[in-house]
Structure 1
Amino acid sequence: MYNFEFTKPSTIDEAVAALKGDEAQALGGGQTLIPTMKQRLASPATLVSLTGIPEMQGVCRDGGTLSIGGATPHAVVAREAAAHFPGLAALARGIGDPAVRNRGTLGGSLANNDPSACYPSAVLGTGATVKTNLRSIAADDYFQGMFSTALDEGEIIISVDFPIPEKSAYAKFLQPASRFALTGAFVAKFADGVRVAITGASEDGVFRWTEAEEALSSEFSADAVRGLSVSAHGMIGDIHGTPEYRAHLVGVMTRRAVEAAA
């Protein structure tokens, strides 16, 4: 590690001002940034912690929407969302290990947008809205490829508004070393249709499986997607699985998610 400045603002305005400094970097739970800094792959001059801002903490339900602060740890989401949105709570409960769940944050995960992270599938799978210090961004516009998002320099995720579905579930094939998703599927059933989001499989990051959405909107059962498949083209290939294997897992995980939700 190397020398750097550390600041922990108590308001959003203070955080925004601090991030305007030279080589300043926002810090959520640090589950990705700190290891990256230790490997000298990133070297911000100032870390601006977002975990001391009350407006960015907590879980709150307002009618059919569950709003979660960007600095809310996974463990808090797992606990406080359970009564309102069990599918999302179960997803949060399965992220990493206890240390990761107690430090990692929703906003940090979404800002990083790792192609194998779990939260992006819930955000895209529900059509959630990402709220920043500047604007509101629809999920379909937010994710823009591997490690790429619609966030501008210095823009902070304040909260995420999740529409609460009638039924939902997340199923992932666990990569045992990292506990990321080798492939994961989030399925959400609403009155006007079904959304399916896949993580861990594509080189472009999280994506919606529209063919499965159409089939499940007509019949919400695992049989409705049995026989459907995605192309292996553009899927991730590494030591843990070939593109063809991940393409196969897309169908398997989607069926398991539907069975769990139904």
Structure 2
Amino acid sequence: MTAAGQTVDILQLYPGELGVTGDSGNVLAIATRLERAEASATVRHHRVGDPLPERPDIVVIGNGPLSAVRSVLDDARRLAPTLTDWVAAGIPLLAVGAGMELLGERILSPERETIAGLGIFPITTDRAGSRHAGYLVVESPVGPVVGFEDHRTVTTRGEGAVAFGRVTAGVTGTAGSEDGIRVANAIGTRVQGPVLPLNPVLTDFLIARALERRGIDWRAASAHGELDRLASEARAVILANIDHVFSTI
């Protein structure tokens, strides 16, 4: 059975508050990749105060400042049991930057205030670290992932927790360290870009995990050739400038 004719439901959480680093591009990358395979995507947005969403096929939550995390925190705690059940059921989820922090156990602010997160990811985040701003490469089980990071955070994983990958290149001080978190099919990462248009391998991972729940095998095809070429060219630019230091943004 192929993906043709299938409809995949994508849920983006808090696109206004946690979508400041081009995170809508991650949703668009999933939808476009499906459409090239003669499937389709429906995109739903959950905003503060909305009713609890119905179960989607894929969940995306993006990045933002700590003020944005605070602004959605009460609503997100209302969603926490539902999100926990979805992750346990194997629904694929992508959380970038602050979205990953929100799904973690707690955040320590620069003023040393402890903010309780949703407890879905076994991580804690300290937002008073040194600044990391530049290109990076993360080697992950789904393949190499390239992009950009800009943060002042230190992420600590709980005992036995699995990182998304290891930073293998970049000059921001994180090379050699681990990036993000993975729980079942839920991935948290610091890689921006946005990450999915730059990295079709990660987009394909999310789609494949969603469709395998229907007994459908997903893999890239000739219809994705142009998307893959554009991503490859963009990645080549990043890799050619991997040693560039960003002192200001």
TM-score (ref. length: structure 1): 0.28
TM-score (ref. length: structure 2): 0.29
